């Protein structure tokens, strides 16, 4: 690798994952670069979820290597992956409904007040709101007032907050990887547009994004590249601009021969 190109944000080299005799993943090579949105497509049981579990540290692969920013890593638990800057954004939206947006964005990394009140654990809510506002501004997100409880947001706004929350957590000193599993599953048209825009903008900030979806129009809109899995094997890895729906459907269903066969 030449020194000018940065290493991929995340790289898998011939990763195998066996459950007993079932080969859930079979020699998968997979990369995602900083600022790139990669769609991970495939039918049910193709291995998408298994791949996400391996990457997010929930499962350990049977064989193969995993590199984060060019360094070999092995995750024993999801917290290891989080520490390496890989965040999974779950479908069920891990937000605390009764709390406001600022609290949700800041929980786990609160700003304490200065002086004796800080020693007692008092939170500087003004500073937290300000930080959250500037973080959302950087992502170009304007959902609602910071003091609004999450339960009073629409589904799309909630998903935007959940995504922004993950994004702010992986983009600390280095930009990390976000794993999205059907981020628009429960959303209407306009809300899906909001989330799409946000995904693109997060990528513009250098975050690497893996997007698992069954939604081909969504994948076509936001992904730079598509990776198709079929029965645990990678059958296609192609830039979005160089493919079309018919081919993708063929790879997903297995009707079209693998690119790598």
Partner 1 sequence: MVMTIPTQSDGAVAPAKDGSTRPPAPDRGARDPAGIRGLIFLRDRGIILLWVLLIVAFSVWAKPYFGTFDNAKLIAGAAALTAIFAAGVAVGIISGVLDLSIPGVAALAGVVCGQLLVHGQPVWLGLLCGLAIGVLAGLLNGIISLRGFNPIIVTIGMLSITTAAASIVAEGYSIPGLTQLTFMGTRRYDGFPAPVWIAGALFVVLTVFLTRTRDGIRLMAVGGNPEAVRRSGIHSDRYKVLGFVISAMCSALGGLVTAAVVTEANPEASPGIIFTALTAVALAGVSLAGGRGSLPRVLVGALILTTISNGLTIKGIDPYWGIGVTGVLLLGSLGLEKWIAGTVSRRLVSSAQASVHTGTR
Q: Please tell me whether residue 80 binds partner 1 under the rule CB under 8 A.
A: no
- Cα–Cα distance, 55 to 165 (Å, whole number): 19
Binding status of residue 156 toward partner 1 by CB under 8 A: yes
Only segment of 4-12, 62-70, 193-201, 227-235 that touches partner 1 (CB under 8 A): 193-201
- Report which DSSP code applies to 188: -
- Site membership for partner 1, residue 108 (CB under 8 A): yes
CA 183, 167, 37, 63 dihedral sign is: negative
Among 122, 127, 224, 237, binds partner 1 (CB under 8 A): 122
User: Shortest Cβ distance from residue 203 to partner 1 (Å)?
Assistant: 12
Bridging pattern class, strands 225-230 and 233-239: antiparallel
Tell me the closest approach of the beta carbon of residue 82 to partner 1, in angstroms: 7
153 binds partner 1 (CB under 8 A): yes
- Three-state SS string over 5-55 comes to CCCCCEEEEEEEEEECCEEEEEEEEEEECCCCEEEEEECCCCCHHHHHHHH
User: Of 83 and 246, which CB lies nearer to partner 1 in the complex structure?
Assistant: 83
Q: Among residues 225, 214, 174, 180, which one has the least CA distance to residue 199?
A: 180
CB of 166 to partner 1, least distance (A): 9
Using CB under 8 A as the binding rule, whether residue 141 contacts partner 1 is answered as yes
Beta strands 177-181; 208-212: pairing state: parallel
Q: From 129, 106, 196, 211, select the one nearest 160 (Cα to Cα).
A: 196
Does 148 participate in binding partner 1 (rule CB under 8 A)? yes
Asked if 206 touches partner 1 (CB under 8 A), the answer is no
Count of positions on this chain that bind partner 1 (CB under 8 A): 47
| 173 belongs to the binding site for partner 1 (CB under 8 A) | no
Measure the CA–CA gap between 184 and 67, rounded to whole angstroms.
Answer: 28
What is the binding site for partner 1 (CB under 8 A)?
79, 82, 90, 94-100, 103-104, 107-110, 112, 120-123, 125, 133, 140-149, 152-154, 156-157, 160, 190, 193-194, 197-198, 200-201, 204
């Amino acid at each position: 690798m030449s020194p000018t190109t940065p290493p991929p944000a995340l790289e898998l080299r011939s990763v195998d994952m066996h459950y007993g005799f079932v080969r859930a993943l079979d020699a998968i090579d997979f990369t995602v670069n900083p600022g790139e949105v990669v769609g991970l497509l495939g039918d049910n049981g193709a291995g998408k979820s298994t791949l996400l579990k391996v990457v997010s540290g929930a499962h350990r692969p049977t064989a193969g290597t995993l590199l984060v920013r060019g360094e070999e890593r092995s995750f024993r638990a999801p917290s290891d992956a989080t520490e390496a800057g890989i965040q999974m954004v779950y479908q069920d939206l891990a937000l605390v409904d009764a709390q406001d947006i600022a609290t949700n964005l800041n929980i786990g990394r609160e700003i304490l007040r200065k002086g004796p009140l800080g020693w007692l654990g008092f939170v500087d809510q003004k500073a937290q709101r300000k930080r959250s506002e500037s973080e959302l501004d950087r992502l170009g997100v304007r959902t609602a007032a910071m003091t609004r409880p999450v339960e009073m947001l629409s589904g799309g706004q909630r998903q935007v907050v959940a995504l922004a929350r993950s994004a702010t957590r992986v983009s600390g000193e280095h930009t990390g990887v976000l794993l999205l599993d059907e981020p628009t599953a429960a959303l209407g048209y306009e809300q899906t547009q909001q989330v799409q825009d946000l995904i693109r903008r997060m990528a513009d900030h250098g975050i690497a994004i893996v997007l698992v979806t069954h939604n081909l129009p969504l994948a076509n809109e936001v992904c730079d590249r598509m990776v198709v899995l079929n029965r645990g094997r990678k059958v296609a890895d192609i830039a979005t601009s160089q493919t079309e729906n018919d081919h993708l459907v063929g790879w997903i269903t297995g009707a079209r021969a693998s690119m790598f066969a």
